[in-house]
Amino acid sequence: MPLPDESLPDSLAAVSDRASARLAAGAGGAETFRRCFASAWTTTLRGDPAYPFVITGDIPAMWLRDTVGQLRPYLTGAADPDVRRVLGGIVRRMAAAVLADPYANAVNDGPTGHRVDDHDRPVPGPDIWERKYELDSLCAVLSFGYELWAVTGSAAHLRGEFVEAVARILQVWRVEQDHERASRTGSSGSTGPSGATRWSAAAWARRWPGPG
């Protein structure tokens, strides 16, 4: 199988070359790294480079948390305006997902109506693949926005829907600090509904929210 490095931007190809050289001189795994680094960039991004949809492996959807884990290595090439544009578009795409449903963890490539199951109530909108409330998915959106700014100094991706998404995330967390009294969501897993929780400054989190 030929390496798809020729499809990488020159800036990312240079990152790959440097990392591969260090791996070859040390612990090994250079060939595996080169293939994986090239593959994730060239095969998992869909649509407009300025607003890409990211395929995140084991589901036909864009999982917020996994998107960040998958794309974080490319921050090393974000000084390149083309790479920065793609990564900024991913931040904006994740922000739009939060605005569509902050309790969802994965979204479709547009309003397809595809869903992992039919258990959620109320029924999610057509953009939502799975509503499984995860603090780390919301944190991933904030983290990636910050990290892109930190390595580039550009705040172009921190406007518009990102600002709205930050406000929505904080609103949800304030509600979930007092889940039993303030939240309209509940959850039910394989062992039945979750038990009651007492108030604390921590934000409540449990998978599969639905009407309390």
Residues 80-111: tens digit of each pLDDT: 999 999 999 999 999 999 999 999 999 999 99
Could you give the CA distance from residue 82 to residue 38 in angstroms, rounded to a whole number? 16
In this structure, the number of other CB atoms found within 10 A of the CB of residue 141 comes to 25
Q: What is the pLDDT of residues 11-25, one digit of tens each?
A: 999 999 999 999 988
d(CA 127, CA 170): 22
Instruction: Say what the pTM is.
Output: 0.84
Question: Can you give the residue ranges of every domain in the chain?
Answer: 1-43, 49-179
Cβ neighbours, 10 Å, residue 68: 24
- Token pair for 142: 């904030």
What was the pLDDT predicted at 199?
Answer: 58
Which helix (DSSP H) or strand (DSSP E) does residue 17 occupy? helix 10-25
**In the chain, % of residues over pLDDT 90:** 62
Token pair, residue 107, equals 């979204």
Q: Report whether pLDDT(208) > 50.
A: no
